[in-house]
Every structure is written in structure tokens, then in C-alpha cells.
Chains A and B, each alone.
Chain A
């Protein structure tokens, strides 16, 4: 074994770094950019794409608020408005919220668990390209006026072949297929990374809370996305090859869609929300400089939310005329979600109470999160009650509720987390002053724009209307919401300006500017391609707050991409595992898959013909190599 170079006593310092660089760096230039399988490259790409889509979706929201500022406004036509709100919902839910949460996890999880790359890195590259093609398909279609226009929820029979002729809905349904493939692939990578690639000593009870929330979220993705895959597949079959799954006149059922769709789309809310809970835990820990209060309670609450989220989908369907007794179960389940959420809120406030909080921008976003998300949660308790929901459902009250939950509970923590991890991603700190200005604009603008919608809804304004008559008592409230949207836009511009200005400065942040406890802060900022010089060994929740230097293990090959695989619960070193090399085949396979998916909208033959290049792509990608399959770890 002496012919193989390994890190350890003999190989240290600059020489080790140089050799690891040679092994783990991507090729220079465009070729390297296209073939990279580094989780940091792909995670950064994912984050940029998803944030671009957030800006696009936000622009659509601003357009809608312009139209709704005054009654009987003729700014945007009915047909165009319906496309815009469909695109807004679809973009935000499928192309921004879920992908961005997975994107941050792709970047940060391997660093947090102390490994050199994500599991299945080629699948990771493939999932990004698939996601990108899905997003392009939808937005190119929208730009060409063939965007979907039947709502992001696509209720049949309105989205069926009779009521939305043409290809609009087919494009939507096929975009769903793209995002499903991408999201499930990422979920599988994250589950395996978390369970098998943790640093030695990071037992399952020492995992950071963010890692826990991503584990639960990824399992939820794997369990819930197949429901919408089935639903949109059957919708495509109804529209393209003449099946009758949803046609009530041929013994299909219009409500089948709603059951399948919400069985996915309600857990989806928690798929967005749980990673955000992870952000909050990490930020609170760092900025109070103490471990989060009641770790076990927070973990159990995360798992409980994951479980309960699968029992609440019918609360979207209280008005459809299902049996009354069944409703009570879903009311109870929906209200029960409030208990674990209350535990989490308590634990974070208790942590601030017990620690010494420093109100930097990330912690401000956490405070904003608590102030707004609790309102969203409490209005959620209201709409869980059947008699209240029958009035509030599909009114502007629900618009307010869901934005309090998703912006308050998802976007605020995300902005906090991006500020928090920005030095890790780029090596630079964001400006505190600009960050605070952006924060106050977004926070105050959001509340001033969305709080009035609770009242508009109580006064009877339904959702998804392109205009409304005068004299209903809604005029002033709508004008208020529209004006305040401008403040949110200003906040967004300030945030982007902050990022751009920071990127123009030279890197100066150092590995751990916040004195944070997690392993990701042990790597350089930005991290080297191999993440860690030596794989760290962990003996507590907060490894960087322990006395003395970080323990490390040695003995990994440096001339081959080798990772340590540990046991799932105790994180004992198990085997050494060769991580795949960069390759172009994930990109080529994704192109073949995109051709197949898009072609199948126009002719069923695309499935048959398109399968050939796809099969070639996959075959070459997975061609067995004579590399060793992993050897036992040498201590």
C-alpha cells in the first residue's frame, strides 16, 4: 500500500493542498464549467438560478398588484392576467421555493457534515440541468404567449382538453415532470449524504439542526412528489392520448386531481418551511453564541411536522362536498401541526433569552420570521376550522395567510441564511448598513402590503380575479397593498445591490467571521474544491466551540477522489469510497431527456424516438469502470 499517496504525517501543509487541488479541481474554462460535479459549483448555480426565478416571479407579482391597485382597471387583459398569476404561483412554488431550499442544502450540507462532495455528484449535475431546462421551457413559453393559464393548482376539468385547448397546460404539466426528476434526484443525494457521509464521530444525535431538517425534508420529497407525478402524468394522458381519468362524464372523477395534487402540495409547504426552520436554528445558535435550547425537542418537532404534514391535505377541499365526518379528522390534524411549531418558536426565543443575542442582519431576519410567521400559523389555525374555512377559503384572507407562511416562514429565513452563509460562499461579508436597510424595507413593506389582505378577504374579495367592481369597500385596501409592494421591491433592489457591491470587493472574510460552531466554518471561505484538508472528527454538537484544534482523521488517498463512508447512526468510519470524476454525460443525458419530454407534448412518437439518445447517454454515463469499489478504512 506504500505506493499510494495518503494524507498524514508524511504529507502535510502546502504540498498536501497542492495535490488535493490537482485531484479535486475541475478542468479550466468552459469545458470544466460544463462537466463539473463539484457540489459547490452546482449548488451555487442552483442558488443563482432559483434567485433569478424569485426576481421574475416577484416581477409578476408586482404586475398583478399594478392591475389590482384600482377597480375595473384595464391595464392587463383577463387572459394575460390569468397567465401571470398562474406563472407567479408555478414559478414561486415549483421553480423557486423548493429548488432554492435544495440548492442551499446542496452547497452547505456536505460542508456541514464534513465530507468532500455530495453523494452521487453526477446525478447532482444532471438534476441541475434538468431543472434549468424545465424552467426555460416554462418561461420561454410564457414569453411567446403560450404560458399556462389555468392556475398553478391546475384543477381539472378546467385544465382538461375541453376547457384549455392548445399546449399551455401540457407545457405546465411537462415542466412539473422536469422539476420532479430534479427534486427527487437531489432528495436522494441529500439523504445518502446525510446518512452515510457524515464526519466520523458526528452521531445522529450530534447532527446540526439544519441537517436534521434537510433529512426530514428530503424524505418528504421522496414520499410526496410521486403523487403529483402521477397526477400530472394522468393529466397529460387525458390531454394527449385520450384517457378519461378526470372526465366525470366517462366515470372519471374531477376530485381525484385535487386529492393527488394536495397530497403533494400541502407537504410541499412544509418542504419549504422545514429547511427554513433549519436556517433559523443555525442562525440563532451562532448569534446568541450558545447551543440551541432543547435540541431533542426541536428534532422531535421537526419529525412531527414532517409526519403530520401528510395528514392535512383535505383542508384544501372543505368546500368540495366530501363527507362531513371526514373533515373533523383533517381539522384535528391541521390544528395539531401548531403544537410542534409552538415548541420550535419557544425554543428559539428561549435560546435568545438564555444567550447573548447580537442583532446582526441574519438574526434580524429571524426576529422578522417569528413576528410574521406566527401570524401566518395562527391564521392557519383559523382556516383549519371547517366553518371558518368555508368563508375564508379562496378569498384574499387565504392569500394573506399563505404569504405570511411562505414569505414569513420561508423567504425571511432564506434571506437571513444567505446573509449568514454569504462569506462562506464568496469569502466576503455583506455590508451591515445596506443589509439593514434592505431588511427594514422588506419586513415593513411585506406587512403593510399583506396585512390588509386579511381584511379584504373578510370583506368578500375572492382570489384569482383580474379585476373587481367599485363600491365593494375593497378599493382603499387594495391600493394600500399595491403601494406597499413598491417598498418590498425597493428592499429587493437593496439586497441585490448589497450582493453586487460585496462581490466587487476582494475576499476578506476569513474562515469563520461569525464565530459559528458548525463544521462548514472549518473550511476556507470560499472552500477549496476538496472542502477539507483532513476529514474532521467530531465529539460534540458544536465542534468549533471546543477547546483546542479540531481533531482530524488521516489516511485518505490524495491522488484519487476518495471519501469516507461512515455508519448511519454512530458515524463510525466504514469504508473509503471513490467519488466520481467530472464528466459531460449528465449534461448530454439531460439534453436528451429534455428533448424527449418537450417532444412528447407534440407527438407520442417522441417517447419512442427520444428514448434512444437517452439510453445512449445513460449507458455511457454508467459504464462500469474497473475502479475498486471501496476499501475498509485504515485507521
Chain B
């Protein structure tokens, strides 16, 4: 049962500060509203069962009405106050702690992720995945390039919309390590369903190791096949839209591919990152995610083998 509630995209996992607060508050709401529901149902059943005996009297009912309204008002006041306090406590818990700064830009239908550093060379640029050190608050700045999207990683925190023309932010404070998944929560067009975000919460040393690896430029191709792929990717259609740091490919419209093979999924959660799925995606990106902006190219077989071999080497 608990494993079931602890799914990688479950709001009941309680892996972040917000979500722990959510769980507590939800139980309080469930308790109080459940109590009132019970009263209604018991009264209804009693009214049905006792219909033959005329037990009620109007003055009694009138007094009960006042009592009922009083109880409802008190219950709602308790819930409003609890809701208000939890809302403010989440803000207060992270006050004054220097956060990790991340910029997340939503596109139809993928996430562009940048970790800001002290200098531009310290910046990490990736796509469709977040790595977070456990216990460190992360301030995520949210922007959109096209339509309204919504950032939602249920195990960590609630939603925050990414609205074009506005900048929102959300503070994440992960409390335990693990693999999580988030998904766009505002309808954003044809492929709204395939706009997932992989989130890895890890220890601070692991996170630093990941950050160092991500800062490095792309590995040079080692095999002859991968070299062929390198030539294709940097000279043909791919480089128009994709960036691979350290190579001539410097497009700005698609996800950054510098360390593509180190990620958990392809196409914003469309496929898991395996060789076979990489083939499927490159050969026909419109197959599993029709309508996305990556065009169908119609590779020759040897080009396809080469491109996949090269992409697989981008660890």
C-alpha cells in the first residue's frame, strides 16, 4: 500500500518540504470534512428509517439548524486558519537560506533547464531533467517561450504556472533522495500528455559530480561509426535546432544534446533512454509523439546507425 502511494509521481510521497506539509494538511481536511459527511449521512439514514414514526418536532429542528450552522462555521474557520498557516510556514522555512538557482523555460513540449553558476562557463544547460541535492533549497525560476504550461513535480511540491510574459518562481526543498517524475499540468497543445520532467534527488557529492560532468563539453566520437554520426549531426538538419557544446552544432530551438545519453528519457518522457528507443525516436520522432517540432527526416540506414551511435556516446 505504501509503495503504491509512493509512486514516482505521487502527491502523497512527501519527498519535499511542500509535499510533507501538504500531506499533514490534507489529513486534517480529510478528518474534518469526513466528520461532517458522516453527520449528513447518519442524519439522512435516520430520516429514511424513522419515516414511519413521527419523532421530529419543528422547534427542535430549528435549534438544531443553529447548532449545525455554528459547527460548520467553526469547522471552516479551523480549516481556513490551518490552510493559511501552512501556506505561510512553507515560505518561512526557506527564508534566508542561500538557494541553488535554476531557470526552467517551458516549450511546446519540453523543458529547457539551466543551472546558473558564478560565471557563464559554470552554467549547466540540459533539458527535461532536474538534478537536486537533498536538503538544499532550490529556487526555480519559471518562464515560458510559447503558451502557458505548469510545473508540477508532485512528490516535491505543488504546481506553479509558466506564463509567457511573466516570471514565476517556486522553491523546492527535497527531503530525501530518489528518482521522481513531474509533468506539465496545464493543457498546452497536442502533446500535453508527453511533457514529462525527470527529477533526481541525490546527495550533495553526487550532485556536484553530476554538475561537473554536465559542465564539460561533449565527448569526441571514438569509433568510425560515431564519427560518421558526428559529421551528420553537425552538418545536416540536426544542427539547425540542437546545441552540442564543443561542436559546431549550436541550434537554439530544440533541447541541448551535449550529454543526451546521461539522461533518463528521450523526448520529454516519451521513451526510456535505451539504444532501441533512441533508434525509434531518431528514425521517426513523429511516431510516438505526433505533432512535436522535431521533423521526420527519412534517414538512410547507414546514416541512422551512425547518428544513433554518436548520440549514444554523448554520456
Contacts and interface: CB of A to CB of B under 8 A. Distances in A.
Chains A, B in direct contact (C-beta < 8 Å): yes
Interface of A: 77-79, 82, 149-151, 153, 155, 157-158, 162-163, 248-249, 253-255, 293-294, 297, 319-321, 324, 327-328, 331-332, 335-336, 338-339, 342-343, 345-347, 349-350, 352-354, 356-357, 359, 367, 370-371, 374-375, 378-379, 381-382, 384-395, 457-469, 472-473
Given A357-B48, A459-B12, A460-B10, A342 B68 contact: yes
B150 A158 contact: no
B44 A370 contact: yes
Contact of B11 (A345, A458, A469): A458
Contacts of A149: 190
B65 A335 contact: no
A473 B190 contact: no
Contacts of B52: 356
Contacts of B44: 349, 352, 367, 370-371
Interface string B75-114: 0100110111011001100000000000000001000000
Contact of B47 (A319, A342, A352): A352
Contacts of B150: 319, 394
Q: Which of B69, B146, B160, B189 counts the most A-chain CB atoms under 10 A from its CB?
A: B189
A594 B86 CA distance: 52
A96 B184 CA distance: 30
B128 interface: no
Given A82-B190, A387-B25, A467-B193, A354 B76 contact: no
B56 A391 contact: no
Given A382-B29, A460-B11, A78 B163 contact: no
A367 B186 CA distance: 35
A391 B19 contact: yes
Nearest to B36: A378
Contacts of A393: 158-159, 185
B51 A391 contact: no
Contacts of A254: 148, 163-166
B18 interface: yes
Interface string B29-44: 1000110110011011
B61 interface: yes
Interface residues of B, number: 86
A378 B33 contact: yes
A350 B155 CA distance: 44
Contact of A385 (B25, B40, B62, B154): B25
Contacts of A459: 4-5, 7, 9-12
B133 interface: no
A255 B193 contact: no
A521 B152 CA distance: 55
Given A381-B76, A382-B29, 4 more contacts: A158-B147, A248-B163, A382-B33, A391-B22
List the 3 shortest-distance A-B pairs measured between CB atoms, nearest first: A248-B165, A390-B158, A460-B9
Interface in B175-223: 181, 183-193, 196
B99 to A, nearest CB: 18
Contacts of B73: 339
Contacts of A162: 146
Given A336-B76, A371-B41, A353 B161 contact: no
A381 B68 CA distance: 17
A347 B8 CA distance: 45
Contact of A253 (B47, B154, B165, B181): B165
A153 B186 CA distance: 11
B187 A158 contact: yes
Nearest to A378: B33
Contact of B290 (A77, A342, A385): A77
Given A324-B87, A353-B61, A394 B185 contact: yes
B161 A321 contact: yes
